[in-house]
A = this chain, B = another copy of it.
Amino acid sequence: MNKKFNVAIVGATGLIGKKFIEVLQKRNFPVNKIKLFASEKSVGKTVYAFGKELTVEKLDEGCFLGLDIVFFSAGASVSLKYAPIAINDGALVVDNSSAFRNNPQIPLIIPEINGNLLKDSVSRLISNPNCSTAIGILPLKLLDQTFKVKRIIFTTFQAVSGYGQKGIDELNRVKKGAKPSVFPLNVNKNCIAKIGENDKYGYTDEELKMVNETQKIFNKPILISATCVRVPIKNCHGVSVEVEFEKEFFEEDIKGILNKTNGVKVCDLPSFETASGKDEVFVGRIKKSLAFKNGISFFCVGDNTLKGAALNAVQIAELLIKFGKIER
């Protein structure tokens, strides 16, 4: 009796595309038909998923016809070009790229934080946040409800998988003595405090994503600074979060509130190794700030390919189904 949907993944052969396939299967997403799209060089390859051999297809005129939901994870330029076509052909789009995240007419959603926005939304495209943003701000949901977040300083520890398979390959290559070609320094011998390009004010893309997306998701002008750093770790992003609240807070309440926050798991010391492959964001090293009267700091770690990408996008699609936004 439950409805099933025709689903597609654009960028299906990439590191995150593969995670989409994994997550959809693991969560028993109600898939009727599935289509996989990728760039020219992967077209024609076969992938075993959902109990059958699937052939990777080309993005083409009419390729989205008959689809209910399309997950885009092939970079901003592909989304900019093809997402409007998918929508025009009748599909709902969940976009993992940065292409539409700052567009005020497009919802940017972390289901546990602002998923309810989807109830009344008429947008046919929903943006999925940046990996570090999703991991860094999920723990703030109930804390913000209770004490009102005023100011945040983010410092990230981001694995090479944040740059996709190319990032993982680069780490392996430079370990064997090759020169860096993907990252600006040898990522095996450096923590590289530069992810993406600098703007004229000295901020990188990645840092501005954290600032702008956090403000959009919490829907208020929180004062935010971010420093984003690539570390010689294969998978998972860590975020050190220093947060000031508007209201006076009670230190003894913090752990209880974090424990009640959906998607969060409180622990003493988060491990990148343990968090890899897990859905939760692990939060530890919770302590009262010594820099702010009403503030705390914590260190959180999550799988950037899951809550930081595919999992959050699939959770968005699940909400869209729940709220009856996908017709079939």
- Given A201-B288, A202-B287, A273-B189, decide whether A299 and B232 contact each other with a Cβ distance below 8 A: no
Measured in the bound complex, the distance between the Cα atoms of B283 and A220 in whole Å is 33
A257 at the interface (CB under 8 A from B): no
Task: Say yes or no: A290 contacts B233, CB within 8 Å.
Answer: no
Which residues does chain B contribute within 8 Å of A273, judged by CB atoms? 185-186, 189-190
A190 cross-chain contacts in B, Cβ below 8 A: 233, 271-273
| Chain B minimum-CB-distance residue to A193 | B299
Within 8 A of B (CB), among A281-324: 284-292, 295, 297, 299
Partner of A269, one of B185, B224, B226: B185
Tell me if B189 and A272 are in contact (CB < 8 A).
Answer: yes
Q: Give chain A's interface residue range (CB within 8 Å of chain B).
A: 35 or more
Q: Are A271 and B203 in contact (CB under 8 A)?
A: no
For A191, A203, A272, the residue with the greatest tally of chain B CB atoms inside 10 Å of its CB is: A191
Task: Give the docked Cα–Cα distance between A202 and B269 (Å).
Answer: 11
Q: How far is the CA of A292 from the CA of B153 in the complex (A)?
A: 10
Partner-contacting stretch, out of A6-14, A97-105, A234-242 = A234-242
Neighbouring B residues of A185 by C-beta, 8 Å: 269, 271, 273
Contact check, A189 vs B234: say whether CB atoms are below 8 A apart.
Answer: yes
Residues of B near A269 (CB, < 8 A) are: 184-185, 192-194
Q: A residues near B, CB below 8 A? A: 151-153, 155, 157, 184-186, 189-194, 201-203, 211, 223-227, 229, 231-234, 238, 240, 242, 269-273, 284-292, 295, 297, 299
